[in-house]
Structure 1
Amino acid sequence: MPISAQELVLRLAISILLGGAIGLERELREQAAGLRTHLLVALSSATIMILSTQFVFYQHYEAGSLVHVDVSRIASNVVVGIGFLGGGAILHDGIRTKGLTTAASLWLVATIGMCCGAGMFTLGLLTSGGSIFALVVLRKVEERIKKEIYLRLQVEADGGGIAGRARIEQALTVLGARVVDTEYVLDRSSSRSSFTIMVRLPRRDLEDAAVTALQDIPETRRVTVTRVTDLGVRS
């Protein structure tokens, strides 16, 4: 028999709340797929799940008709379809990859929506709790465990070019830093260069030393530092 209107509203409402909770965390991390995207994925998945299990009751089949319905067929395509949305959240920037965690959270939110659509609220709540634990608590644990630090250094200097890049990389290498990526722009009219360098330091306490080493280069005019959590900047 079909579910009641109250049960229908309850399933959709819980999918909105759980999907929105995970989306809010992504929104606070300034990801492209944030609160609204995760909420809509959860809501649409719940709707598809309800449709899969309930549509047969609204087709007005004649009494005594023998009808075979595979209720999993429509819902199973959610798993396939969400892959395209998750793929759009993954960005490649040179050697860096961003958005893997967001893509995984979108996939997870789709399953949570399906749980709510099927009326399996306990499973949906437990899965949501596990995902919030992974996104919030484990992130803090991971940051405490990691001793290395990634910096994006922007250096403005007189002269420059390949020679200037070599001096910068040499100053950082002395500290045990690893230069992951380097880009530079040379302004020939003013004979100045702007370098953008991605650096991995073995210890956090070497950050000040790295900045000082760059400032001690005679040609350096200004050094700007941005901390990043990993090569992907944000996950």
Structure 2
Amino acid sequence: MTTDLGLDTLLVRLGLGLVAGALLGWNREELGHPAGLRTMVLICLAACTAMLLANWLLAHTETPDTTVLRLDLMRLAQGVLAGIGFIGAGTILKQGSIVRGVTTAATVWLATVVGLCFGAGAWQLGMAATAGGLVVLQGLKWVEARLRRRSYGSVTVVFDAGQTSHATLLAVIEAQGFSLRSARFEQDGNRGRLRGLGAHRACGPAWSLALIAALRSTPGVERVAWEDAA
């Protein structure tokens, strides 16, 4: 950590933080995830500013013999990393059995660390982390899709228990090739409800539409809903 904080140094470090935050935020914004472009830029800029402040304090709190510091300056960076957890947690959403936003929360954490790197003057490390983050977000998503070759989601069926049953609906779902990982069964009088979470071996929306059509054609089914687990 250097104490040489001229105007040119400040501008270069802040500029690199802005660019890194913009690149990471662009990826989230393009895919429609929470914590998009402006959020990532602000997070990275704030982290960079916090580390620059630590540098400034380092330069202005040395004793005359320059051997002892009156402040534990690393606590500032630790506080930034601890506080960013609240923003990361806000991007994670749980909808029934489906959890969304975990990757975005991890990207928020990465943007914070990248900002700290640029603020501390570790430009090479910050640029390498930014490049690595983009490779993971862009490249590994394609690799993950190639490895999975499956579509994940949940199906919800509301039906008249006097005309059909949970067992009948499960048979229809399995006949369509939907492998259930978990299921929830509800029945209140003549009104029944089935919610299943699982995966299908095919990709694309065509098979989910076929699943909905098969369930809707079952006597007693009143409503069918499908939700992708992106």
TM-score of the superposed pair, with normalisation by structure 1: 0.76
CA RMSD after TM alignment = 3.3
Distance in 1 (CA, whole Å) between partners of 2:186 and 2:30 is 31
SS at match of 2:32: coil
Q: Which runs of 5+ in 1 are unaligned?
A: none
Q: Which residue does the alignment assign to 2:171?
A: 170
Q: Which residue does the alignment assign to 1:97?
A: 99
CA deviations on 1:155-202 (whole Å, 9 max, x unpaired) are 576x3589454432220123442334558899x9xx998876544223
Q: Which residue does the alignment assign to 2:22?
A: 20
SS at match of 1:131: helix
CA gap of 1:66–1:122, structure 2 versus 1, over 3 A, is closer
Distance in 2 (CA, whole Å) between partners of 1:90 and 1:46 is 24
Deviation at 1:113, TM superposition (A): 0.2
Q: Which runs of 5+ in 2 are unaligned?
A: none
**Aligned partners of 2:183 and 2:194 also within 8 Å:** no
My pick for the range that moved more, 207-216 or 29-38, is: 207-216
Deviation at 1:134, TM superposition (A): 0.9
CA gap of 1:34–1:208, structure 2 versus 1, over 3 A, is closer
Identity %: 28
- Matched residue pairs, number? 223
My pick for the range that moved more, 108-117 or 139-148, is: 139-148
Distance in 2 (CA, whole Å) between partners of 1:85 and 1:68 is 35
Deviation at 1:147, TM superposition (A): 2.6
CA deviations on 1:35-73 (whole Å, 9 max, x unpaired) are 2221111111101111111224356x89x4656234423
**1:126 is aligned with what amino acid?**
A
My pick for the range that moved more, 41-50 or 207-216, is: 207-216
Distance in 1 (CA, whole Å) between partners of 2:166 and 2:32 is 32
CA deviations on 1:89-119 (whole Å, 9 max, x unpaired) are 2233333222211111111111100111112
Alignment of 1:150-161 (within 5 A): 150-153=152-155, 159-160=160-161
**2:201 is aligned with what amino acid?**
P
**1:200 is aligned with what amino acid?**
A
**1:168 is aligned with what amino acid?**
L
CA gap of 1:184–1:14, structure 2 versus 1, over 3 A, is farther
Deviation at 1:23, TM superposition (A): 1.4
Deviation at 1:124, TM superposition (A): 1.1
Distance in 2 (CA, whole Å) between partners of 1:150 and 1:221 is 23
